[in-house]
Structure 1
Amino acid sequence: MAHSLLVKGVKVDPETRCSHYHSEIDRIAIKFFCCGIYYPCYECHEAVGCGKSEVWPKERFSEKAVLCGACGHELTVNEYLNCASTCPACSAPFNPGCSLHKHLYFE
């Protein structure tokens, strides 16, 4: 559980870091479109997820799909993609390298 929301994965800490991504700034979880469950990363979803990964379609980018592990704020996909790797609620930094994997989560 991270801020009262279930976050599944491999060795998930209270700020949503996992065994795959665990630097100080790795502090988001993404709600996978296919199953509606938060995971810290695509590798955690592959390991313990639903087995049918689907990306968020553009027409649903206004829905909450990203969790800040620092404060528990849920961001819409649009908010996350435009937040400059900083939580809009608590200013905690997110890993800017996550943008390299956005195609795995978002259309």
Structure 2
Amino acid sequence: MAHTQEVKGIDVDPETRCAHYHSEIDRIAIKFYCCGIYYPCFECHQATGCGSSEVWPKERFDEKAVLCGSCGHELTVAEYLDCHSSCPACSAPFNPGCTLHKHLYFG
């Protein structure tokens, strides 16, 4: 495992892929604002999370909330939204399709 953060969810692999999203480029986890715990996706959080789902408020986008499953670098919300689907630390590609779900995580 390239990171030391605990990532909860269903069938989470060492690079943070899960039962729901498991392609080669599915390698981020999101720290959910409501509970402060990393999950690979909103479906894992719904299934095994805190039971409350709150998005990160814009005024807190400077806080670390996204984990690169490849190298373990933690990105702020703002860094993640501006990273063009690759890790700024190791250049590992992230799934660009994740932008379709950003409203589930970030306000």
Q: Same fold (TM over 0.5)?
A: yes
Query: How large is the RMSD of aligned CA atoms in angstroms?
Result: 0.9
1:43 aligns with 2:43: yes
Deviation at 1:87, TM superposition (A): 0.2
Where structure 1 has 5 or more consecutive residues not aligned to the other structure, the ranges are none
- State, as a whole percentage, how many aligned pairs show the same letter: 82
Determine the structure 2 residue equivalent to 1:18: 18
Q: Deviations over 1:47-86 (max 9, x none)?
A: 0000000000000000000000000000000000000000
| Structure 1 segments (4+ residues) deviating >3 Å | none
Q: Is the 8 A contact 2:2 2:71 kept in 1?
A: no
Amino acid at match of 1:42: F
Where structure 2 has 5 or more consecutive residues not aligned to the other structure, the ranges are none
For residues 2 and 20 of structure 1, the distance between their equivalents in structure 2, rounded to whole angstroms, comes to 21
For residues 70 and 95 of structure 1, the distance between their equivalents in structure 2, rounded to whole angstroms, comes to 13
For residues 92 and 3 of structure 1, the distance between their equivalents in structure 2, rounded to whole angstroms, comes to 14
Of residues 68-77 and 2-11 in structure 1, the stretch that sits farther from structure 2 once superposed is 2-11
Count of equivalent residues: 107
TM-score between the two structures when normalised by the length of structure 2: 0.98
Q: 1:2 to 1:11 in 2, by over 3 A?
A: farther
TM-score between the two structures when normalised by the length of structure 1: 0.98
For residues 62 and 93 of structure 2, the distance between their equivalents in structure 1, rounded to whole angstroms, comes to 22
For residues 4 and 76 of structure 2, the distance between their equivalents in structure 1, rounded to whole angstroms, comes to 18
